[in-house]
Amino acid sequence: MERKGEVRLAASGYSMYPYIKPDDECRFVSLTGSLRIGQIGLVASHIGILYSHRLHRVKRSHKGARYFFRGDANRFYDPPVKSEQIIGVLMDLKRKGKVMPENRKTRRLWSYFASRFPLFMLPFVVLGKLKKRALHQSTTGKRRA
């Protein structure tokens, strides 16, 4: 990120499903200003694990700002992070060869609803869990109880 100002990562998991799907190629760029509510940040957790989730709120205090992220298909917020842990912001993703920029009207509209009306995302929480379960069953041949 420091050398080129961007990084491309293949998505895995279903926490942002269907906005980001497994194997989508996500392009993140360095953060030049502050991240806005609804944008997707590339974050390093306190133990160094990278994830990309949507920013839902910022809480400011005398100790500094804390940022609250949540995957669109997750029910709960991630642990709050400090600005130093935010590495970049999603600029676009490539799905099946097609580039989908974040500034497209449909993607901005989705981001607006996802960050301001969490109940709007509830069907996708369920859908993401079903997709994850189906993937698990197809790779292991085992059914969950």
pLDDT of residue 130: 73
User: How large is the average pLDDT for residues 57-68?
Assistant: 94
pLDDT of residue 145: 52
* DSSP β-bridge partners for residue 55: 69
Domain span at residue 64 reads 6-136
Domain CATH for 57? 2.10.109.10
Is 145 within a domain? Answer: no
Is 113 within a domain? Answer: yes
Residue 41 CB neighbours (<10 A): 22
Condensed to tens digits (0 to 9), the pLDDT of residues 19-59 reads 999 999 999 999 888 899 999 999 999 898 999 999 999 99
Tally the domains of the chain: 1
**pLDDT band at residue 5 under the 50/70/90 scheme:** confident
Condensed to tens digits (0 to 9), the pLDDT of residues 82-108 reads 999 999 999 999 999 999 999 899 888
Is 142 within a domain? Answer: no
Is 77 within a domain? Answer: yes
Is 94 within a domain? Answer: yes
pLDDT of residue 108: 86
